[in-house]
């Protein structure tokens, strides 16, 4: 019994990863929400940048929504120790891939929005979340 309890106990790093990714993913959700509400001027975006987001096809917006909201759900599911965090983050990766395909191959993104460092950071964070949630599930921490 002691070994099972030790394996399934909530390790300190679960809190650290859960809250850090929750804050990070909340920024993505905020950005998505401001875009959908047409409030990009409040974020200091130029007319060219606003027009770029306004002409995005519905499928890329759906992919972006899938990415940000599933990533946020993944963080929450980590914090409540649910094994479904893995599924949520996997769906977030599908959404991230879809939105990146449109942004970097099918659209004429304004130079001011091209930030490969941010894109790499998003990919690293999301892939880390998938790895971490998978490891915590295998360790019996997520149920």
pLDDT tens column, 105-128: 999 999 999 999 999 999 999 999
Question: What pLDDT shows up at residue 1?
Answer: 46
Q: How far is CA 39 from CA 19, 47, 65, 82, in A?
A: 27, 12, 16, 34
Mean pLDDT throughout 89-96? 98
What is the SS3 assignment for 45?
coil
What's the pLDDT at 8?
Answer: 59
Burial profile 33-54: b = 16 or more Cβ within 10 angstroms, e = fewer: ebbeeeebeeeebeeebbebbe
Q: What is the mean pLDDT of residues 71-85?
A: 98
pLDDT over 50 (residue 25): yes
Assessment of whether the complete model's pTM goes beyond 0.85: yes
pLDDT digits 0-9 by tens, 29-63: 999 999 999 999 999 999 999 999 999 999 999 99
Least confident range of 4-8, 14-18, 71-75, 129-133: 4-8
pLDDT for the residue numbered 9: 78
pLDDT at residue 2 is higher than 80: no
């Amino acid at each position: 019994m002691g070994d099972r309890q030790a394996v399934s106990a909530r390790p300190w790093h679960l809190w650290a990863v859960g809250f850090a990714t929750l804050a990070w993913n909340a920024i993505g959700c905020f950005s998505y929400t401001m875009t959908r509400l047409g409030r990009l001027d409040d974020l200091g975006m130029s007319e060219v940048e606003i027009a770029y987001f306004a002409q995005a096809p519905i499928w890329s917006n759906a992919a972006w929504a899938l990415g940000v909201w599933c990533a946020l759900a993944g963080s929450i599911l980590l914090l409540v120790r649910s094994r479904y965090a893995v599924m949520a983050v996997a769906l977030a990766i599908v959404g991230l891939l879809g939105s990146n395909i449109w942004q970097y191959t099918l659209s004429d993104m304004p130079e001011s929005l091209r930030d490969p460092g941010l894109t790499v950071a998003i990919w690293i964070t999301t892939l880390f979340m998938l790895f971490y949630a998978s490891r915590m599930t295998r360790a019996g921490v997520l149920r």
